[in-house]
Amino acid sequence: MKEPGVDSRGEDLLLSTRQPLSSVLRDLKRESNDLWSCINSLLEDERFVAELRQLYPSLPLVANLRCGLWYAPRFDATCYFKSTDGHNGWWSFSTTRLNMALAEAAAARGGAVVVDATRKGKRFP
């Protein structure tokens, strides 16, 4: 009787691929970037932002204009951050991105929820 996952020569079917690893990884990346995956990811993120709004109703929900406006139908305010803002050891900052309205809202209400996105593999928007 043949074992599951083993071919007629006794080789493990998962390990006997003739495709180079780089090709397998490229196929996996392409599959994870298809249209269905992108739309599904956006819907999951939208649900997550809705949960945050319910968990923290006293805090303003603020969208980063660079990458965050599509995660909810309505925001209390907007801000503008770039990926280099706030990096560890990066002491200079842009005077064009002071986000004073965000700072004032957070000070007045005890915090704020900033919605942003990344492609670096974080599980939250």
33 falls within a domain: yes
Looking at residue 6, the DSSP 8-state letter turns out to be B
Rounded to an integer, the average pLDDT of 94-117 is 87
Local structure of 44: helix, strand or coil: helix
Q: Write out the residue range of the structural domain in which residue 81 sits.
A: 21-115
Output 95 or 54, whichever has higher pLDDT.
Answer: 54
Can you give the pTM of this predicted structure? 0.61
Could you give the number of structural domains in the chain?
Answer: 1
**Residue 6 is assigned to a structural domain of this protein:** no
Residue 5 has pLDDT above 60, yes or no: no
Asked if residue 1 belongs to a domain, the reply is no
> Is 121 a domain residue?
no
CA distance 85 to 87: 6
Does the residue 111 lie in any domain?
yes
The sheet that has 61-64: what strands, in order across it? 77-79, 61-64, 113-115
